[in-house]
A = this chain, B = another copy of it.
Amino acid sequence: MRSDGRSRTQLRKIRVVKNYTKYAEGCCLIESGQTRVLCAATVEEGVPPFLKNTGNGWVTAEYGMLPRSCSSRIKRNDTGGRVHEIQRLIGRSLRSVVDRGQLGERTVKVDCDVIQADGGTRTAAITGGFIALALALKRLKKQKVLKNIPLKDYVAAVSVGIVEGELLLDLNYEEDSRADVDMNVVMLGRGDFVEVQGTAEREPFSKAQAGQMLTLAQEGIQDLIRIQKRHLGALLP
């Protein structure tokens, strides 16, 4: 049994509040246990220079932490390497499910702001960011700006890790800080991976362990996508 009472292969409790703020074209507050991330999608006409006149749209993400989202205060507006790494991961993950030709020359920016951090903020940002993105795209369809919702699949993410020899799903902060291996996995609704990032924080891992982690992550992400579907209703044909 884990410190918060979960079994080894159990996700934390997920709570999704759609349209948590009123201005964003798509928005949700996602909570995964004590981790809370506000995801807000902004739609802007136009694309970055490298896409001009290609007919394709763009999806990008930004990630931030409120200064006191952590146990000790972090400097405001700190955008070091970790932040860049995370927002690039979120952006690639969300782009993997968007039909950018159908989107047309528009940019969707998904802001993921961590209100409270207890491990797994980047995976919560992907899972919640997809909901915010989908809500914004649904609205564009409803407003008849787009004919179809330009999504090819669902996408969600979870972490898995090895802590004291045990394989665990969805690590909280306390588990993450003791983990030998930490792996973030991003997967589509159809079960294929778009990102696998495994890091041996203390002990290297074998190919067999890599396989076990991927299997466990698959099960967790299937649950997350079920939750996404519940909140988003019919989205894909």
Min Cβ gap A48→B in Å is: 13
State the CA gap A138–B197 with chains docked (Å).
32
Please give, as numbers and ranges, the residues of chain B lying within 8 Å of A98 by CB-CB distance.
none
B194 touches A116 (CB 8 A): no
Interface positions of A from 1 to 51, Cβ below 8 Å from B: 21-24, 27, 34, 36, 38, 40, 42, 44
State the CA gap A52–B194 with chains docked (Å).
40
Which candidate, A82-90, A122-130, A226-234, is the interface stretch facing chain B?
Answer: A82-90
Copies in the complex: 6
Tell yes or no: A76 within 8 A of B by CB: yes
State the CA gap A111–B183 with chains docked (Å).
27
State the CA gap A66–B116 with chains docked (Å).
14
Please give, as numbers and ranges, the residues of chain B lying within 8 Å of A194 by CB-CB distance.
199-200, 204
Tell yes or no: A210 within 8 A of B by CB: yes
Chain A 172-215 interface 0/1 with B at a Cβ cutoff of 8 Å (1 = within):
00000000000100011011111111111000111100110011
